[in-house]
Amino acid sequence: MKLISLVTGGDDAFGCDYALVSLTSNLAQLACRRVAMLKEQKHMDDSLVESYFWDAHAEYFSPWLAERETDADALAEALERLPAVAGDWMEAPAEFSIPDSLRAGVECGQMVIREAGVVFLTIPKHTSTYVYTAEVPLSVLEKVAAA
């Protein structure tokens, strides 16, 4: 399942408007194990809120990096027509891919584990701003993990 989310972050995060995550069964199982581990650790210390893991599964991009405005508009319109999966996550067709020219340069990709799901975050290159996705709900992770 390919999921796309708008990202949230600072104004200087040009080029990081969306994130694409190929949510495979293996990735969903890993995320579910990490959520279970967080819940286990929370029994020992209830002040634990979330855990961070280095991760490069999210690809960050922007249609506005397209050289031609018509290409940017076409991609933006296609993204708006994608069906919603959960919250701000949309499902992209299996053949969806991001052209290299639209990929954002990023550093320090992470997967943030919470009791209710996972979030992906990164730092766009040459900035000090963090951008992050919407939360992928645990219910979606469990469904994909079981497939």
Task: Look up the pTM and report it.
Answer: 0.89
Residue with tokens 């969306």: 18
Alpha-carbon torsion (97, 123, 131, 89), positive or negative: positive
Domain that holds residue 97: 2-146
Both structure tokens of 111: 């997967």
Q: What is the pLDDT of residues 59-110, one digit of tens each?
A: 999 888 777 666 777 788 888 889 998 888 999 999 888 888 888 889 999 9
Domain count, the chain: 1
Rounded Cα gap, residues 24 and 3, in angstroms: 10
pLDDT (tens digit per residue) in 107-134: 999 999 999 999 999 988 888 889 999 9
